[in-house]
Amino acid sequence: MKSFLLRSTAAAALAACCSFSVYGVSPTSSLPIVTPSVVAVSAGTPVGNPCTNASISDTCIGVPLEVTQADEQGVKRTVPLQVSVTKDVAKQVRQEFPDASAVVFRNLAEALRRGLGQDDPKVQQACAAALPSVESNVHYRVLPDVRMPAQIEAKVAQLADKAFEVAQKDVVVTSGTRTPESQASAIQEKIALGDNVQGLYKDKQAVGAILHAYREAKHEGKDAEEATGAMADVIQRQVEDGVYISNHLRDNAVDLRISDLNGWQKRMLRKAAESVPGVSVHEESIPPHFHLDIL
């Protein structure tokens, strides 16, 4: 396994030192080292490993990292790497992943937090020592089970950096990509909290069909889970017909927490978000959050 992906290395060298899986095509050394778009990043469990740079400590942390990339034809491949978390890691990450560095930093930080619970005390200590420097490059948090494409997260990182410069407060992402089931759950939560769901969505016919499924399920005495399933079935059929009740279903919307912000902080966050190209902000009150459509 290779320790970081070097742009100047020939493709044949990658094939010789690293294993990788390719979706849609067979592995071949003719594939470029760095494809145009990073679409996903996943970090594994930190391990202690020797550093090769004599100017730094003899022991540092290696974090297994899987980077899924897509070329211009949409062909995806996942490349396993190992990142040595040394004093130079920030520079390395920015050089190797200029358009997705924040995504990599966030995954590294999450991996280092997991490393704090490992049995090896040396790994624990190294993770604790490395974590602050990695975290300092990320000014947003993502709640568990929230997913979003890397290109969307990169824009979240941009606005989070801008907001942090002014307000010195991290952004919290509470929702991202949704399945029909999670979209149905979100709508049902709004109903339970007393929101005007019919007035919230632009496509009145689509939201009307979803609410009809909800009312029918409740009329028939079905529980919340069954009602969610009935609503999700309607949403799935709408998606198949090219109708999207929310951009969360299109992979290009996120929600940001604002319940812990004062009026000034909310204004600064909105201003930061609106300064990022392709981002539009809509404030919703039940529950309180900024909904961001990101193109």
pLDDT of residue 5: 38
Are residues 17 and 104 part of one domain?
Answer: yes
Strands 140-142 and 171-175: parallel
Separation between Cα atoms, residue 177 and residue 50, nearest integer Å: 38
Given a contact cutoff of 8 angstroms between Cβ atoms, the answer to whether 231 and 188 are in contact is: yes
pLDDT band, residue 34 (cuts 50/70/90): very low
Are residues 122 and 190 part of one domain?
Answer: no
pLDDT band, residue 83 (cuts 50/70/90): confident
Q: Please give the tally of structural domains in the chain.
A: 2
pLDDT tens digits along 50-75: 555 544 444 568 899 898 888 888 78
Separation between Cα atoms, residue 139 and residue 147, nearest integer Å: 17
Q: Is the peptide bond before 46 cis (omega within 30 degrees of 0)?
A: no
Q: Phi and psi (nearest 5°) for 42?
A: -140, 130
Are residues 202 and 110 part of one domain?
Answer: no
Closest by CA to 146, choosing from 189, 178, 187, 103, is 178
Are residues 124 and 15 part of one domain?
Answer: yes
Are residues 113 and 54 part of one domain?
Answer: yes
Are residues 118 and 45 part of one domain?
Answer: yes
**Residue that finishes a domain, picked among 138, 166, 189:** 138
Domain containing residue 220? 180-248
Are residues 111 and 27 part of one domain?
Answer: yes
pLDDT tens digits along 179-221: 999 999 999 999 999 999 999 999 999 999 999 999 999 999 9
**Range 198-204, long-range pairs (CB < 8 A, 24+ positions):** 200/284, 201/245, 201/246, 203/243, 203/245
pLDDT tens digits along 249-262: 999 999 999 999 99
Mean pLDDT lowest among 121-125, 264-268, 272-276: 121-125
pLDDT of residue 13: 27
Closest by CA to 193, choosing from 289, 266, 285, is 285
Residue 165 in domain: no
Are residues 224 and 131 part of one domain?
Answer: no
Are residues 207 and 109 part of one domain?
Answer: no
Are residues 77 and 24 part of one domain?
Answer: yes
Residue 121 in domain: yes
Look at residue 8 and tell me whether its pLDDT is greater than 60. Answer: no
pLDDT of residue 51: 58
**Residues above pLDDT 70, as percent of the chain:** 84
Separation between Cα atoms, residue 94 and residue 4, nearest integer Å: 12
Mean model confidence pLDDT for the chain? 84
Are residues 25 and 101 part of one domain?
Answer: yes
Are residues 21 and 133 part of one domain?
Answer: yes
pLDDT of residue 250: 97
**Residue that finishes a domain, picked among 248, 267, 288:** 248
Q: Which residue has the tokens 């009602």?
A: 227
Return the structure tokens found at 130.
């490395």
Q: Is the dihedral of CA 108, 109, 111, 116 positive or negative?
A: positive
**Residue that finishes a domain, picked among 106, 138, 170:** 138
Burial class (CB in 10 A: 0-12, 13-18, 19+), 263: exposed
Residue 217 in domain: yes
Span 223-236, average pLDDT: 97
Look at residue 7 and tell me whether its pLDDT is greater than 90. Answer: no
Residue 280 in domain: no
CB atoms within 10 A of CB 265: 16
